[in-house]
Amino acid sequence: MVQHTRRNISKPVIGVTGNARLFSPSWLCIKLAVFLAGGHALRISVRHPVPEEHLDGLVISGGDDIHPSLYEEEIMAKAHYDEARDELEQRYIEYALTNHLPILGICRGYQLLNVQSGGSLYQDIRPLREKTDNRATFLPRKKVVLKKETEIYKIIGHELFKVNSLHHQAINILASDFQVAAWDADHFIQAIEHKEVKPVIGVQWHPEYLLYLKHQRQLFTWLVAQAKRTVT
């Protein structure tokens, strides 16, 4: 059942993909972030489909691991996958890329942008870390370095800052359509952006849990500003 149309919605409509659970803190935080940026968020999941043509922008949010068959790796015994969500999000990403809608990929969503474009992932970086902590944290404790010549640097405005960390996977081979925008101390990629003029960026951290920091809110401000350009 389709949950919404964009009838009587004058603000840019941002689709937010995620899990289909009844309670989703990530969805609630992203909804707030989009509202603060001047947009209107619509939840998208297997249970909450939205027609693609109703959207002006897209957030691909975090969640379960991407099925490894999508990047030619083996299934891990203790991993949690959601193939229905993988398929759903791939459809929305393809629509957004084809129609030049802005995209913000977060954690799993950032990884899926890379995988869908032909890249691959490390399935578990915990044994590979040397200078960063394996403990998950909602607080900004991990240092990230941004390249100054990137779009994401223009958005955030800081070369060095700290982020939260809730992931155990990371980009391995970067898709040729993207370029690296940031790394952590272990040289794992932390942010990417599309090489062409398409407004598509992705971050490994969760900015929706860092809305008390202006430079993190600016990622959503950028998304809504880009989405306004698509509104006719």
Which residue numbers are catalytic? 107, 206, 208
How far is Cα 158 from Cα 141, in angstroms, rounded to an integer? Answer: 16
Residues 6+ apart with CB under 8 A from 167: 62, 107, 108, 125, 204
End-to-end CA distance of the chain: 26
Q: Among 210, 216, 215, 176, which residue's Cα sits nearest to residue 196?
A: 176
How far is Cα 141 from Cα 131, in angstroms, rounded to an integer? Answer: 12
